[in-house]
Amino acid sequence: MSAGRLVPIAVAVALFTPAMVSLLFGIELLPIASVLIYGAAFIGAALLLTWGTELAQIDLPQGLAISFLALIAILPEYAVDLLFAFQAGTDPQSAPLALANMTGANRLLIGVGWSLVVLVAALGFRRQNRKNPSAGSPFDFRLGRLATVDVVVLGLISVYALTLVLRPSLTVIDSVVLIGMFAFYVTRLWRAPKEEPDFIGPPAAIAVLPTGARRLVTIALMVVAATVILLSAEPFSGSLVQSGQDLGVDSFLMVQWIAPLATETAELIPACIFAWRQSANEGLGTLLSSKINQWSLLVGAVPIAFLLGGGSLTGLPMDPLQRQELFLTGAQSIFAMSLLTDLKLTVREAVLILVLFLGDFSASVFLPDDVQTYTRFGFSGLYLVLAAVRLVTARRVLPSLVRDGLLISPVRLAEEERAR
């Protein structure tokens, strides 16, 4: 086992140690200091979770392992969102914050995450070509055929999300539908064959351990990380809201854009590393699966957390702002899904996603509130028009895409992929 490969684990532990010391000894911190310390704890813990779930690929089918990796990697999102939803059961002011974090994280994941992974992959490809000019093949960052399951499920969830703008609350009925879609997704991936994983960093060092020791270390990584995340959720969320008040920044914006920077960063690091190595399934595929997890299981869990926190069966209330944010997030998801109908993202498409996101983000931060309503619907309409154009141009492949995603056995998809 190479000691150098274990250095990142020490770095991850160092990231969450100050937060745990602060909790253990009851140290009072300024709100902005708490945001930084507990945000760092989320990053450190999420890195441990990512490495632990990567190791799970040894014992699980690849598609399910990637889904599990994506699910665990966004545990910080669950901790923050569900805490706000639980608090909303008795404190109505917390209701908008639960959806703020979710919509911000979802749009950031696509707008920055997907784009960044493709751009990093393009840079890595260019570097490889410089070392081996004779290769001469064009850049083609393509997902495996099994990803048709992800693309189709993402499309179904996103279309359903557009209907939420028509309702005043997020209810347990939505939970049943969204969690049911997630269950279908996992069931499809469960049948996929196992493949030899490609490890880098700490997982590469741990994977060579005897089976019993490897599984013990894997479980330890995940338990420690999950404990850190659960302990950090409340102080991080509370200090984030307080920091916004102290700085004169709307708490909705703080929770929507600042919180996801901490909760999403750790997920992007391994995805970019895999992208640099031209592994689309582990790079872009993991972020695609994360999007599905956030959009289905996380959103579906919000009304349940609200109910457990003392809320009513009428569901988590949504004012016009929250409904507009959900509509915009759903429109962006449909556009992103439409770009993956050919199971790849080009550099131009990645840049387009990034530019549109930056426009949306800038409008939400800098424009007056009365103007933002028009910009949200404007960007939503633009996303849907671009998606419609893309789907029309890809209409010949849509029937086979839907068939592969919903009906064809994952084993057959994997076998036909290998036979190419």
Segment 284-298, tens digit of pLDDT: 888 898 889 889 988
**pLDDT tens string for the chain (420 positions)?**
566 777 889 999 999 999 999 999 999 899 999 999 998 998 898 888 878 877 877 877 666 666 666 566 667 778 888 889 999 999 998 888 888 888 998 999 999 999 999 999 999 888 877 777 655 567 788 898 989 999 999 999 999 999 988 899 999 999 999 999 998 998 888 777 766 677 778 888 899 899 999 999 988 998 898 899 889 888 988 898 888 888 888 888 888 888 887 777 767 877 888 888 888 777 888 889 888 988 998 899 999 999 999 989 899 999 999 999 999 999 999 999 999 999 999 999 999 999 999 999 999 989 998 899 999 999 999 999 999 999 999 999 999 999 999 999 888 888 777 766
Instruction: List Cβ neighbours of 65 (8 Å cut-off, separation of 6 or more).
Output: 53, 54, 56, 57, 197
Give the C-alpha separation, 208 to 214, whole Å: 8
Q: What is the pLDDT of residue 391?
A: 97
Question: Which residues make beta-bridge pairs with 317?
Answer: 169
Give the C-alpha separation, 327 to 152, whole Å: 19
What are the b/e assignments for 226-255, b being 16+ CB within 10 Å?
bebbebbbebbbbbbbbbbeeeeeebbebb
Tokens of 392: 């029309």
Strands 169-170 and 316-317: antiparallel
Instruction: List Cβ neighbours of 217 (8 Å cut-off, separation of 6 or more).
Output: 55, 206, 209
* Inter-residue contact 71 to 272 (CB < 8 Å): no
- DSSP letters spanning 229-272: HHHHHHHHHHHHHHHHHHHT--HHHIIIIIHHHHHHHHHHHHHH
Give the C-alpha separation, 16 to 38, whole Å: 7
DSSP state letter for 210:
-
159-177: per-residue pLDDT in tens?
999 998 889 999 999 999 9
Q: What angle do CA 22, 23, 24 make, to 5 degrees?
A: 95
**What three-state secondary structure class fits 286?**
helix
Q: What is the pLDDT of residue 238?
A: 87
Give the C-alpha separation, 45 to 357, whole Å: 27
Q: Where are the domains of the chain?
A: 3-146+169-317
Give the C-alpha separation, 141 to 109, whole Å: 18
66-93: per-residue pLDDT in tens?
666 656 666 777 888 888 999 999 999 8
